[in-house]
Amino acid sequence: MRLSGITLKTLLLSVLPNAAFSGSVTVETNVDGFDQAQSEASIGFRNGSFIAVPIPFSNPTIGSGLTLGAGYLYQMDEESKPSLFGIAVLGSSNGTRAYGGAANFAFDSNRWQIETLYAKATINYDLFTTTG
């Protein structure tokens, strides 16, 4: 196998110079469950993934705070990009508040795409400039 003029063996030896490399590849025999999981259908609304993310921040302009985001990702058909529902909430120490929601749908091999977003924010900020 060659990667842009560099063999895989050369790449491994440059990363692991003290490791012995025999040139053979060992394949694990107990990976049947992994192979089976890859072959399962992952298309449709019921086969999506839920994501929740807390994002703490500290910024001199709006203070310290936390953003919470949550979403549900799924794929309507094999040829389309992922679709999603999502919401987010932000709050900071100086009284800044924001919330929003989004929904993006792609179906029929990306022939139809609907993207929506709603957000509302009240931002209190201190703008620091060189002029004072």
Q: Please tell me the distance from the alpha carbon of residue 63 to that of residue 26, in angstroms, as a whole number.
A: 53
When mean pLDDT is compared across 21-30, 50-59, 77-86, the lowest value belongs to 21-30
What residue ranges do the domains of the chain occupy? 2-122
Span 56-109, pLDDT tens digits: 999 888 889 999 999 999 988 888 899 999 999 999 999 999 999 999 999 888
Contact predicate 71/100, CB 8 Å: no
Which residue from 125, 123, 53, 61 is spatially nearest to 91, judged by alpha carbons?
123
Neighbours of 65 (CB within 10 A): 19
- pLDDT of 126 reads 75
